[in-house]
């Protein structure tokens, strides 16, 4: 075990030092308490990731617009999961959809998470003189370096974690597959037992990042329908040619009946945003 921890520790120590440096800066220079330094660190990371997430949310909305057609493909290849995935990917390509999910934005958070984990563990080990100041958070967590369940406040934090994780899944689970969505919703209930052993500060990081996700989801949902209706404009804009090529593929035949629907109203531009919103809701149900 010690060999494994040695092998793991060598590439991970720089991450720990980096996280600690940022925390130190936020605490000593900016003057935040330790717990709020973690919140601030989280916010900084998420702010850096905004361009990635905004793009991701846009793709998610275009996925939801195409949900009915995708469901049809799923039904068609119910037995063969592999074939189903391949057909879905083909459909994305033909319709110029970028699947919302991607591994990179999630992986960017991995080093931060690891760095924070190790520096919080060090907080518990090192003499208190190295981190002068209060380690408590909002009077209900006595120390962010202790195990989450070492105080009743930790349990409150865990409940908030489960709630926020479920809410963020609701916004960001980049899949229309019902089973997968349910799985993602149930996951925090299982992982709460793992997380209970983590330092409270790490759970704080989690809760903050989840709440950020929820806030971001709410804001972009508000803002996006106000921009010129993407579904209508996409169909008429220069992006159409690749889609037309794909129509020969067989799946492309489906979008056709959808486009005549909005056409009865000539001034589509003003009514369009409402339409998009309705379609999205239908997709989510």
Partner 1 sequence: MYRLGVGLVWLYRVTFGALFPTTCKYEPSCSQYAIDAVRKKGLVRGSLLAGWRLLRCNPWSHGGFDPVR
**Residue 187 in the binding site for partner 1 (CB under 8 A):** yes
CB-count exposure of residue 35 (10 Å: 0-12, 13-18, 19+):
buried
Minimum distance between the CB of residue 146 and partner 1, rounded to whole angstroms?
A: 20
Kindly report the CA angle at 58 between 55 and 64, in degrees rounded to 5? 145
Q: Which residue, 32 or 195, has its beta carbon nearer to partner 1?
A: 195
The minimum distance between CB 265 and partner 1, in angstroms, equals 32
Interface stretch with partner 1, choices 28-36, 93-101, 141-149, 257-265 (CB under 8 A): 93-101
Residue 231 CA, chain-centre distance (Å), reads: 23
Token pair for 273: 């945003």
- C-beta of 218: minimal distance to partner 1 in Å? 20
Are 97 and 70 within 8 A, CB to CB? no
SS3 237: coil
Please say which residue, 44 or 89, places its beta carbon nearer to partner 1.
89
Please state the closest distance from residue 57 (CB atom) to partner 1, in A: 9
Tokens of 239: 């992006």
Task: Kindly tell me which of 177 and 247 has the beta carbon lying closer to partner 1.
Answer: 177
Instruction: Give min distance, CB of 243 to partner 1, in A.
Output: 13
Closest CB to partner 1 among residues 90, 221: 90
Nearest CB to partner 1, comparing residues 55 and 71: 55
Stretch that binds partner 1, among 69-77, 108-116, 156-164, 224-232 (CB under 8 A): 108-116
Contact letters (x/-) for partner 1, 167-186, by CB under 8 A? --x---xxx----x--xx--
Q: At what angle do helices 67-76 and 81-94 cross, to 10 degrees?
A: 150
Please list, in sequence order, all residues whose beta carbon lies within 8 angstroms of the beta carbon of residue 138, skipping any fewer than 6 positions away. Answer: 35
Check residue 240 for interaction with partner 1 (CB under 8 A). Answer: no
Minimum separation from the CB atom of position 172 to partner 1 (A)? 8
- Distances in Å between the Cα of 124 and the Cα atoms of 22, 23, 106, 131, 142 are 18, 15, 28, 10, 13
Q: Give the span between the Cα atoms of 258 and 263, in whole angstroms.
A: 10
Burial of 284 (0-12, 13-18, 19+ CB in 10 A): exposed
104 forms part of the interface with partner 1 (CB under 8 A): yes
Q: Which of 36, 43, 77, 109 binds partner 1 (CB under 8 A)?
A: 109
Q: Applying CB under 8 A, which part among 23-31, 48-56, 66-74, 253-261 lies near partner 1?
A: 48-56
Stretch that binds partner 1, among 51-59, 119-127, 150-158, 226-234 (CB under 8 A): 51-59
Whole-angstrom distance, CA of residue 91 vs CA of residue 255: 11
**H/E segment holding residue 12:** helix 2-24
Q: Which residues bind partner 1 (CB under 8 A)?
A: 52, 55-56, 59, 82, 85-86, 89-90, 92-93, 97-107, 109-110, 113, 169, 173-175, 180, 183-184, 187, 191, 194-195
């Amino acid at each position: 075990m010690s060999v494994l921890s040695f092998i793991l520790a060598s590439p991970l120590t720089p991450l720990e030092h980096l996280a600690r440096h940022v925390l130190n800066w936020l605490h000593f220079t900016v003057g935040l308490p330790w717990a709020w330094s973690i919140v601030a660190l989280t916010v900084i990371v998420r702010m850096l990731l905004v361009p990635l997430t905004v793009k991701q949310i846009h793709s998610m909305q275009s996925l939801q617009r195409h949900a009915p057609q995708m469901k049809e493909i799923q039904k068609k290849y119910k037995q063969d999961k592999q074939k189903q995935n391949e057909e879905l990917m083909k459909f994305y390509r033909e319709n110029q959809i970028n699947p919302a999910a991607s591994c990179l934005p999630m992986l960017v958070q991995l080093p931060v998470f690891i760095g924070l984990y190790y520096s919080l563990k060090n907080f518990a080990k090192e003499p208190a003189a190295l981190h002068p100041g209060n380690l408590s958070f909002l009077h209900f967590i006595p120390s962010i370096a202790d195990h989450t369940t070492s105080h009743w406040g930790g349990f409150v934090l865990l409940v908030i974690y489960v709630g926020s994780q479920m809410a963020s899944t609701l916004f960001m689970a980049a899949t229309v597959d019902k089973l997968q969505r349910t799985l993602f919703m149930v996951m925090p209930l299982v992982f709460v037992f793992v997380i209970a052993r983590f330092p409270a500060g790490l759970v704080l990081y989690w809760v903050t990042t989840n709440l950020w996700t929820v806030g971001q989801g709410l804001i972009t949902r508000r803002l996006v329908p106000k921009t010129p209706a993407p579904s209508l404009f996409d169909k008429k804009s220069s992006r159409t040619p690749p889609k037309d090529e794909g129509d020969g593929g067989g799946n492309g035949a489906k979008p056709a009946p959808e486009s005549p629907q909005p056409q009865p109203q000539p001034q589509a531009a003003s009514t369009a945003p409402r339409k998009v919103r309705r379609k999205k809701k239908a997709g989510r149900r």
